[in-house]
């Protein structure tokens, strides 16, 4: 799973406005609607699926990372968005630390293995401290995308 293939500059928010997790999730979903990756009519259903998953257990996995995700009948392929918050967001993370990097993704409901592989690839990618440092210092959506592209190329 090449994370760079899931993102475009239009699917990246270099500085989120949100102050907490529910606002952040909605901000990224709004971005994906605006980018034409999710239909506006499907937004409530996608938000409900993400909220249901998030209420099961926070997707704030620690190290300033959150990976909100859900399965939905509203998409036919994996759809992802990335948001960065330099100030950090309250996300009820496992380590109780603020979240700075959010990778949100939605997978077609019938693709369980794809869901697991995507989640594992994102977690592995962001587990690298150097990647997090590069994402933190990137100046624009295009620069953030380059971090994903360059790192994916290296394996």
Known catalytic residues are: 69
Q: CA–CA separation, 19 vs 39, rounded Å?
A: 25
Of 6, 9, 25, residue with least CA distance to 122 = 6
One DSSP character per residue, 19-41 reads SBHHHHHHHHHHHHHHTTSS-GG
Q: Which stretches within 2-95 are classed as H helix? A: 3-6, 21-34, 43-56
Q: Is 87 helix (H, G, I), strand (E, B) or coil?
A: strand
CA-nearest of 11, 105, 7 to 53 is: 105
Between CA 23 and CA 144 the distance in angstroms is 21
What tokens appear for 5 in the block? Answer: 């293939």
């Amino acid at each position: 799973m090449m994370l760079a293939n899931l993102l475009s500059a239009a699917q990246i928010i270099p500085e989120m406005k949100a102050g907490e997790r529910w606002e952040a999730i909605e901000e990224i979903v709004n971005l994906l609607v605006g980018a034409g990756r999710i239909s506006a009519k499907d937004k409530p259903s996608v938000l409900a699926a993400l909220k249901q998953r998030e209420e099961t257990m926070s997707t704030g996995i620690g190290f300033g990372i959150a990976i909100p995700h859900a399965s939905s009948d509203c998409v036919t392929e994996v759809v992802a968005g990335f948001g960065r918050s330099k100030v950090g967001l309250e996300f009820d993370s496992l380590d109780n630390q603020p979240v700075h990097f959010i990778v949100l993704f939605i997978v077609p409901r019938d693709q369980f293995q794809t869901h697991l592989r995507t989640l594992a690839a994102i977690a592995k990618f962001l587990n690298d401290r150097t990647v997090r440092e590069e994402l933190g210092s990137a100046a624009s959506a295009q620069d953030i995308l380059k971090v994903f592209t360059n790192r994916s190329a290296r394996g």
